[in-house]
A = this chain, B = another copy of it.
Amino acid sequence: MSKARPTPRPTGTTRIQREKRQAIFDAALDVFSENGLRGATLDAIAARAGLSKPNVIYYFEGKEAIYKELLESLLDIWIAPLIDLSDSHEPIEELLAYVRRKLDMSRDMPRESRLFATEMIQAAPHIRDVLSGPLKALMDEKAALIQSWMDAGLLAKSDPYHLIFSIWATTQHYADFDVQVRAVLGGQDPFDSAPEFVEILFRRMLTP
């Protein structure tokens, strides 16, 4: 019997472990969402977490491990709204609620949005399997649901997949391109006017 590692990595059971790991995750979310995996440094993460670099390594295998675990832990949160999209006798309201929720997430979780955006732009090497596996399956399911609404005449006909893409695109745009949006709008807060606009956009798109 051989021990692979003299001090096994903490799994996060005790209070102090949970807190420190969370602090690292939080700092890593800042740093990774600003610079991507390659552009981020352990020093930056450690500094922002208020820990020493070796201490960070004590809790995680390394930079890439932090990134991977962070991505995976956020994936569930990120696709939850789509999972919750379910059959309804008012499909337009159901979809508009989904749009609203996605827009709220752009406002309240911009770092998460940018993290995923950067990962996607860089060809998603760490979550490719999730995209073509579970996410595709989820999309197929929801696209079928939307298609059934369209077939029933409750929704204007269009391509369900591209419809979801357009919802993702328009809502996440306010998180990912926040700087640009704010620069162009001057001092005005985008999230004051965006909800009304996206509601109009998708209501017109969806109403038969």
A residues whose Cβ falls under 8 Å from a Cβ of B:
33-40, 114, 117-118, 120-124, 128, 131-132, 135-136, 139, 156, 158-159, 161-163, 165-166, 168-170, 172-174, 176-177, 179-181, 183-186, 193-194, 196-198, 200-201, 204-205
Contact = CB atoms under 8 A, between A and B. Distances in A.
B39 A197 contact: no
A120 to B, nearest CB: 5
B121 A197 contact: no
B139 A184 contact: yes
Chain A at the B interface: SS class = helix
Contact of A201 (B135, B166, B196): B166
Contacts of A117: 117, 121, 176-177
A33 B181 CA distance: 21
Contact of A128 (B131, B176, B183): B183
